[in-house]
């Protein structure tokens, strides 16, 4: 054999090794199997060939959702006993909290096989009258109970977040469930449970107005892939007469227009990054709804449309919502669709609140369109509960925000945007803080941890007063991100600064705000950041092996697999050459 061929083969072997090590993380999750599935005979059923008596229309269901619960008990052994002995309760997995001698903190215990149904959600595909109950139910979900009391702050420890996230990642890979907040939900976000009457802290308890389950942290740990590379956002703006009133030093409609204009500038920058496409549409509603601008990526046109808005007449929120939905409903599933409603008051003409919830809101829900709502103005004038209900039943992808000022309103739009595009980074939000920015004196905004394999990092810094703050961003090696930094796009206007970094280095980044001008005392500011994991849009079902009580998933990284494939082809060619040289072919 010629020496050149050996060299060729050696290079290929090196490439192959590189391919296998480039991702470096073959995920492994330890799962304790308990107990013998026979224990559950009569209480679970095979979701593929159902024999469950509770539903009339039974078909073959696949796993489409992962639902997280809190057990609302102190100890794990107690929860396990309950699931073993209560004929009406079972769960696929329990994540232990380590508060008893048997199960250690973060230990994962499997009680029902993935292929079987566990009785934990309380939702069947159809109700007793035969109507469909909503997208999530017993037959298409895998349920995970985290041991602890969600009504206590800090009930889910970091270790528990980590092992639950590892389990969710594994289940998503195994069953081809997209790793996003549309498919990974809390029990309190599922259909029937989402109604205020039945809603309970599961897993999101309320302590001082904050959810005790940190979804942002959790989704960051899951490392899901939710690139939202193509989005369509319809801004549904309240233009009723009351929007013409003065509020917090400005006319409401003018503040709303200013916030929307800034939002459009923000989206325009996002649209400049490669491989993305973001459209904006504008609907105004007063006594009736008006299509001000059909979906477009002509941002100058979008801004003109916003400027043309003026306040008049009554508040017909239902009509506005319907028209907003109409703009996005024809778009395919590859485009993430958002309808963001801004309102300063109660709907007082057209559809009633109940009709809105059971009509367009339910319709959006079924069509997987995310609804966001923003209340603007005096809290006494808006029905917060109603606006929250429009946003919350939508399976995690919609948000409700309250804005007391024009600046808050802009912040609300940006917050919604970051949540829509990816995983919001914890440790950076500083909403409502005020400072007296001194020229040349940096304001530290915190450090953020960026996981590996992110397609994009985006950070927005907004401020309330005249003047300019510079967004200073330092990568893990301490290098400042400037316009010459590879993959970076920096934008600054009189109201906000925005940085978009493609393929950001994994590690700890530092964020600061530097006042370039002197600014008034009590200037308010906010900083928010999000990351978009790279690679493929959805988790592909990947091979998963179980050896003993350890389950292994192959690394879900397209680059790795592409390299492996190329290497195998090259090796085949090399072998063929080798064999033909030796006269064996
Ligand atoms: Zn539950």
The per-residue pLDDT for 168 is 94
Calculate the alpha carbon distances from 476 to 277, 423, 473 in Å.
29, 19, 10
Torsion on CA atoms 534, 540, 541, 542, rounded to nearest 10: -50
Asked if residue 450 lies in contact with residue 457, where contact means CB atoms within 8 angstroms, the answer is yes
pLDDT tens-digit map of 116-165: 888 788 777 777 777 777 778 888 899 999 999 999 999 999 899 989 99
Instruction: Name the more confident of 7 and 551.
Output: 7
Report the percentage of the chain scoring pLDDT > 90: 41
CA of 30 to the centre of ligand 1 (A): 23
pLDDT tens-digit map of 398-419: 889 999 988 999 999 999 999 8
pLDDT tens-digit map of 212-229: 998 878 887 887 544 557
DSSP, collapsed to helix, strand or coil, labels residue 316 as coil
CA of 150 to the centre of ligand 1 (A): 11
Calculate the alpha carbon distances from 333 to 94, 182, 273, 537 in Å.
33, 13, 21, 12
CA of 259 to the centre of ligand 1 (A): 39
Distance in angstroms (rounded) separating the CA atoms of residues 28 and 151: 31
Asked if residue 453 lies in contact with residue 507, where contact means CB atoms within 8 angstroms, the answer is no
Residues, CB-to-ion distance under 5 Å, ligand 1 = 69, 187, 202
CA of 120 to the centre of ligand 1 (A): 6
Distance in angstroms (rounded) separating the CA atoms of residues 53 and 534: 43
pLDDT over 80 (residue 569) = yes
CA of 438 to the centre of ligand 1 (A): 50
CA of 70 to the centre of ligand 1 (A): 6
282 alpha carbon, distance to own chain's centre: 24
Nearest alpha-carbon partner for 475 in 496, 501, 441: 501
CA of 9 to the centre of ligand 1 (A): 56
pLDDT tens-digit map of 459-506: 999 999 999 999 999 999 999 999 899 889 999 988 999 999 988 998
To which residue do tokens 């450090």 refer? 447
The per-residue pLDDT for 175 is 85
Q: What pTM was computed for the model?
A: 0.61
CA of 187 to the centre of ligand 1 (A): 5
pLDDT tens-digit map of 423-448: 888 777 666 788 888 888 999 998 89
List strand residue ranges (DSSP E) for 330-468, in order: 336-343, 370-376, 400-403, 423-424, 433-435, 443-450, 454-463
pLDDT tens-digit map of 528-548: 999 887 543 333 334 445 555
Asked if residue 83 lies in contact with residue 157, where contact means CB atoms within 8 angstroms, the answer is no
507 has which bridge partners?
Answer: 450
To which residue do tokens 């959600």 refer? 121
CA of 208 to the centre of ligand 1 (A): 22
CA of 83 to the centre of ligand 1 (A): 12
The per-residue pLDDT for 289 is 95
Domain extents for the chain? Answer: 3-24+554-581, 28-222, 227-422, 427-529
CA of 196 to the centre of ligand 1 (A): 15
**Read out DSSP for 461-524?**
EEESSSS-EEEEEE-TTS-B--TTSTTEEEEE-SSEEEEEEESPPSEEEEEEEEESS---TTEE
**Read out DSSP for 332-351?**
-TTSEEEEEEEESS---SSS
Distance in angstroms (rounded) separating the CA atoms of residues 119 and 92: 9
Burial of 51 (0-12, 13-18, 19+ CB in 10 A): exposed
CATH architecture of 28-222: 3-Layer(aba) Sandwich (3.40)
CA of 209 to the centre of ligand 1 (A): 20
- Joined tokens for residue 34: 């308990």
List strand residue ranges (DSSP E) for 157-276, in order: 184-186, 206-207, 210-211, 230-238, 246-247, 250-251
CA of 87 to the centre of ligand 1 (A): 16
CA of 582 to the centre of ligand 1 (A): 67
CA of 199 to the centre of ligand 1 (A): 10
Q: Any idea what DSSP says for residue 126? A: B
CA of 48 to the centre of ligand 1 (A): 23
Q: What are phi and psi of 340, to 5 degrees?
A: -115, 115
Asked if residue 392 lies in contact with residue 186, where contact means CB atoms within 8 angstroms, the answer is no
CA of 91 to the centre of ligand 1 (A): 9
CA of 185 to the centre of ligand 1 (A): 11
CA of 139 to the centre of ligand 1 (A): 15
CA of 216 to the centre of ligand 1 (A): 20
Q: Does domain 227-422 have CATH number 3.40.50.410?
A: yes
Confidence class for position 36, pLDDT limits 50, 70, 90: low
CA of 391 to the centre of ligand 1 (A): 21
CA of 227 to the centre of ligand 1 (A): 29
- Joined tokens for residue 89: 């309760």
CA of 192 to the centre of ligand 1 (A): 12
CA of 145 to the centre of ligand 1 (A): 7
Report the percentage of the chain scoring pLDDT > 70: 80
pLDDT tens-digit map of 346-396: 899 999 999 999 899 988 877 778 899 999 988 888 899 899 889 865 455
CA of 191 to the centre of ligand 1 (A): 12
CA of 119 to the centre of ligand 1 (A): 10
Calculate the alpha carbon distances from 56 to 41, 48, 126, 127, 132 in Å.
21, 15, 8, 9, 11
CA of 315 to the centre of ligand 1 (A): 38
DSSP, collapsed to helix, strand or coil, labels residue 562 as helix
Asked if residue 188 lies in contact with residue 204, where contact means CB atoms within 8 angstroms, the answer is yes
CATH fold, domain 427-529, is Jelly Rolls (2.60.120)
Asked if residue 89 lies in contact with residue 82, where contact means CB atoms within 8 angstroms, the answer is yes
Quick one: which H or E segment has residue 548? Answer: none
**Cβ neighbours for 86, distance < 8 A, ≥ 6 positions apart:** none
Asked if residue 530 lies in contact with residue 419, where contact means CB atoms within 8 angstroms, the answer is yes
To which residue do tokens 């008051």 refer? 345
The per-residue pLDDT for 31 is 86
pLDDT tens-digit map of 180-212: 777 888 998 886 655 545 557 889 988 887 889
- Joined tokens for residue 119: 């009785």
CA of 204 to the centre of ligand 1 (A): 10
Q: Decide whether 28-222 matches 427-529 in CATH topology.
A: no
């Amino acid at each position: 054999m010629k020496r050149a061929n050996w060299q060729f083969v050696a290079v290929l072997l090196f490439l192959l090794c590189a391919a296998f090590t480039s991702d470096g993380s073959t995920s492994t999750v330890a799962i304790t199997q308990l107990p013998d599935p026979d224990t559950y005979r009569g209480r679970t059923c095979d979701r593929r060939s159902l024999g469950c008596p509770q539903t009339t229309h039974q078909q073959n269901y696949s796993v489409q959702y992962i639902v997280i619960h809190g057990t609302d008990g102190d100890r794990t052994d107690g929860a396990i006993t309950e699931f073993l002995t209560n004929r009406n309760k079972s769960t696929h997995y329990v994540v232990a909290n380590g508060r008893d001698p048997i199960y250690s903190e973060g230990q994962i215990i499997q009680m029902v096989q993935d292929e079987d149904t566990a009785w934990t959600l309380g939702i069947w595909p159809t109700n007793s009258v035969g109507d469909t109950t909503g997208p999530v139910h017993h037959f298409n979900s895998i349920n995970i109970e985290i041991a602890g009391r969600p009504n206590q702050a800090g009930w889910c420890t970091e270790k528990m977040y980590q092992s639950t996230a590892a389990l969710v990642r594994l289940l998503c890979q195994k069953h081809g469930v997209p790793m996003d907040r549309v498919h990974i939900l809390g029990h309190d976000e599922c259909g029937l449970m989402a109604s205020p009457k039945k809603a309970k802290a599961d897993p999101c308890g309320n302590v001082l107005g904050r959810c005790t389950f940190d979804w942002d942290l959790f989704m960051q740990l899951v490392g899901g892939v939710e690139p939202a590379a193509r989005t369509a956002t319809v801004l549904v703006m309240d233009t009723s007469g009351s929007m013409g009133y003065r509020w917090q030093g400005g006319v409401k409609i003018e503040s709303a227009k200013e916030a929307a204009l800034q939002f459009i500038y923000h989206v325009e920058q996002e649209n400049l990054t490669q491989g993305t496409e973001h459209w904006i549409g504008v609907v105004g509603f007063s006594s009736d709804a008006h299509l001000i601008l059909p979906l477009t990526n002509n941002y100058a046109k979008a801004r003109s449309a916003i400027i043309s808005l003026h306040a008049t007449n009554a508040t017909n929120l239902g009509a506005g919502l319907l028209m907003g939905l109409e703009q996005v409903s024809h778009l395919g599933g590859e485009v993430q669709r958002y309808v963001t409603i801004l309102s300063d008051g109660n709907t007082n003409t057209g559809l009633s609140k109940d009709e809105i919830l059971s009509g367009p809101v339910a319709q959006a829900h079924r069509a997987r369109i995310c609804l966001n709502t923003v209340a603007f103005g005096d809290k006494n004038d808006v029905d917060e509960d109603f606006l929250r209900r429009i946003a919350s039943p939508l399976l995690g992808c919609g948000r409700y925000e309250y804005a007391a000022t024009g600046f808050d309103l802009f912040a609300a739009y940006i917050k919604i945007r970051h949540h829509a595009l990816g995983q919001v980074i914890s440790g950076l939000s500083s909403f409502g803080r005020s400072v007296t920015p001194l020229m040349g004196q940096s304001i530290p905004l915190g450090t953020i941890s960026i996981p590996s394999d992110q397609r994009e990092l985006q950070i927005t810094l907004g401020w309330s007063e005249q003047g300019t703050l510079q967004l200073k961003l330092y990568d893990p090696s301490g290098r400042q991100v400037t316009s010459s930094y590879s993959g970076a796009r920096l934008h600054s206007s009189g109201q906000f600064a925005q940085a978009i970094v493609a393929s950001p280095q994994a590690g700890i980044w530092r964020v600061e705000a530097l006042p370039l001008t002197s600014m008034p005392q009590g200037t308010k500011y906010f900083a928010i950041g999000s990351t978009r994991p790279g690679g493929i849009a959805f988790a592909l079902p990947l091979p998963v092996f179980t050896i003993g009580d350890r389950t292994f998933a192959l690394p879900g990284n397209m680059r790795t697999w592409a390299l492996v494939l190329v290497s195998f082809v090259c090796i085949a060619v090399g072998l063929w050459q080798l064999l033909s040289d030796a006269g064996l072919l």
